[in-house]
Amino acid sequence: MTRGKPHPRPKKADSRPSQPAQPPAAAPTAPSRRTWLVGAAVVACAAAGYGGVLLLTGTPAQKTPQVRLGDGKSGPEGMAWVPGGEFLMGSDSKLAQPNEKPAHQARVPGFWMDRQHVTNAQFRRFVEATGYKTTAELPPDWETIRVQVPPGTPRPPDSALVPGAMVFVGTPAVVDYSDFSRWWRYVPGADWRHPQGPGSSIEGKDDHPVVQVSHADALAFAKWAGKRLPTEAEWEFAARGGLEQATYAWGEEFTPGKQQMANVWQGQQPRQFPVVSAKAGGAIGTNAAGTFPANGYGLYDMTGNAWQWVADWYRADQFKREAAAAKLADNPRGPQDSFDPDEPGVPANAPKRVTRGGSFLCNEDFCMSYRPSARRGTDPYTSMSHLGFRLVMDDAAWAARQKSQAAAAAPAALSASRGG
């Protein structure tokens, strides 16, 4: 979902084109849990006194990249090589939101990237090895909350600062898109093991993307794994899969040959967003990683399934700033601060990190964030039921790891050769 102004009532599902002719109006996203908590607390106080590699569908002039996969010897296992190069970052498409404009020239060096989102099974191994507690499992900290709310907002009572996370709950009927609180809720007890709340579970979903993880959680996992979060430029270059300025990560058609290409609302859900069948118990969410075809670099679910944290601070005007510099953005690392004037009730300079890729909730009426250029900013301490991450590794870091592993194995090999 993307932030912005409310969108008018959408068309009925059976009248939707396979590719919209006009962009949806920018739509509000779920608030950070801190904003939600404070809002709820203030009201309370007042009341109380997406195997195989996809053949790209781009223009004939574009060649399918050669996919290079790591096997633990010639590259890190589970990762794919993204060759790097110059590309047009952002978009001037009629589908693009203002924060995606203008398209501007950028360059990134080659790097390794996880082929899939970090999964529940991978995150569990991290937690078991370190005893790590995620942001959603800890009581919210007022110091991280107060920068996300208007100055002078009173501190909530401790009783309101309970562990939990933002959960998509949907609605039983069509609603006005201007009020996201109708389909999002802060749920005490929601966390990565219980993404929909205490009664939910990830049992049988080891291969699904881990969600309900904050930016801080992603950084902690990255440090343990010896990897890092991608920059925004690296993420977009990788998501494009070798297709210059294609609308989608696979080309120009949303469903080429009537094939669903990503886990997004349309094609996956029979009802209009955000209506969820009560009979299904509100069941909606991620697919197993790798359910849909990979892009040109062998990467799965670069768009759809779950939003992905990246390293950069978020500025709504960052692409305008880079374009105004009138020079190649060489391996850009993003701004030094945050700026987002478009989220009501949140200071424009409140800390936010970039999230990319869209999720199972994205749709052609409310948002189209399953496009490689789509972007948004999110409170780094927010955990949500449609937000996860994947990691990257520089070739130098991979070479250093190999050298370290070889050095560690040498004494054992020598001892074995001596019969010890």
Summarised one tens digit per residue, pLDDT across range 250-301 is 999 999 999 999 998 887 777 778 778 765 544 578 999 999 999 999 999 9
Q: What mean pLDDT is predicted for residues 386-391?
A: 98
pLDDT single digits (tens) 51-107: 333 334 443 345 668 899 999 999 999 999 999 999 999 999 999 999 999 999 999
Q: How many CB atoms lie within 10 A of CB 192?
A: 22
Residue 130, SS3 per DSSP: helix
pLDDT single digits (tens) 331-358: 999 999 999 999 888 999 999 999 999 9
Q: Compute the distance between CA of residue 212 and CA of residue 96 in angstroms, rounded to an integer.
A: 27
**Tokens, residue 217:** 């959680």
What are the C-alpha distances in Å from 365 to residues 26, 177, 302, 417? 10, 10, 21, 67
pLDDT single digits (tens) 12-58: 333 333 344 444 544 445 566 655 555 544 333 333 333 333 334 44
Nearest to 11 by CA among 169, 173, 168, 174: 174
User: Which residue do the tokens 């950028």 mark?
Assistant: 106
DSSP string, 260-325: --S--SBTTBSS-TTB--TTTTT---PPPTT-S-B-TTS---SSSSSEEEEEEEPBTTHHHHHHHT
What are the C-alpha distances in Å from 174 to residues 182, 276, 397? 10, 10, 50
- Per-residue pLDDT band at 172 (split at 50, 70, 90): confident
Q: What mean pLDDT is predicted for residues 225-235?
A: 98
- Per-residue pLDDT band at 180 (split at 50, 70, 90): confident
- Render the burial of 264-290: b for 16+ CB within 10 Å, e for the rest: bbbbebebbbbbbeeeeebebbbbbbb
What are the C-alpha distances in Å from 86 to residues 115, 119, 332? 21, 31, 12
CA triplet 333, 390, 239: central angle to 5 degrees?
70
When comparing pLDDT for 268 and 306, which is higher?
306
Quote the pLDDT of residue 59.
39
Nearest to 213 by CA among 295, 286, 300, 314: 286
- For the chain, what is the mean pLDDT? 84
For the chain, the maximum distance between any two Cα atoms, rounded to a whole number of angstroms, is 80
Nearest to 331 by CA among 388, 394, 400, 246: 394
Contact present, 336 and 312 (Cβ < 8 Å):
no
Quote the pLDDT of residue 36.
57
Quote the pLDDT of residue 11.
34
pLDDT single digits (tens) 151-161: 999 999 999 99
What are the C-alpha distances in Å from 138 to residues 74, 164, 165, 263? 40, 8, 10, 30
Task: Answer whether residue 3 shows pLDDT above 60.
Answer: no
Residue 167, SS3 per DSSP: strand
Q: What mean pLDDT is predicted for residues 387-396?
A: 97
Quote the pLDDT of residue 50.
30
When comparing pLDDT for 214 and 46, which is higher?
214
Quote the pLDDT of residue 271.
79
Task: Answer whether residue 10 shows pLDDT above 90.
Answer: no
Quote the pLDDT of residue 416.
62
Q: Tell me the pTM.
A: 0.85
When comparing pLDDT for 168 and 119, which is higher?
119
Which phi-psi region, left, alpha or beta, contains residue 204 (left: φ > 0; alpha: ψ -120 to 50)?
Answer: left
**34-38, 130-134, 399-403: lowest mean pLDDT where?**
34-38
Peptide bond into 274 cis (omega under 30): yes
Task: Answer whether residue 217 shows pLDDT above 60.
Answer: yes
The percentage of the chain sitting over the pLDDT mark of 90, rounded to a whole number, equals 66
Q: Compute the distance between CA of residue 350 and CA of residue 363 in angstroms, rounded to an integer.
A: 27
Contact present, 162 and 135 (Cβ < 8 Å):
no
Contact present, 395 and 110 (Cβ < 8 Å):
yes
DSSP string, 328-387: -EES----SS-B-TTSTTS-TT---EEEES--TT-BTTTB-TTSTT-EEEE-TT--BTTE
Task: Answer whether residue 4 shows pLDDT above 80.
Answer: no
Q: Compute the distance between CA of residue 229 and CA of residue 113 in angstroms, rounded to an integer.
A: 9
Contact present, 81 and 102 (Cβ < 8 Å):
no
- Per-residue pLDDT band at 409 (split at 50, 70, 90): confident
Identity of residue 126: F
Quote the pLDDT of residue 370.
93
Query: In the Cβ-directed half-sphere of 41, how many Cα atoms lie within 13 Å?
Result: 21
Quote the pLDDT of residue 51.
32
Q: Compute the distance between CA of residue 261 and CA of residue 247 in angstroms, rounded to an integer.
A: 13
Residue 396, SS3 per DSSP: helix
Peptide bond into 102 cis (omega under 30): yes
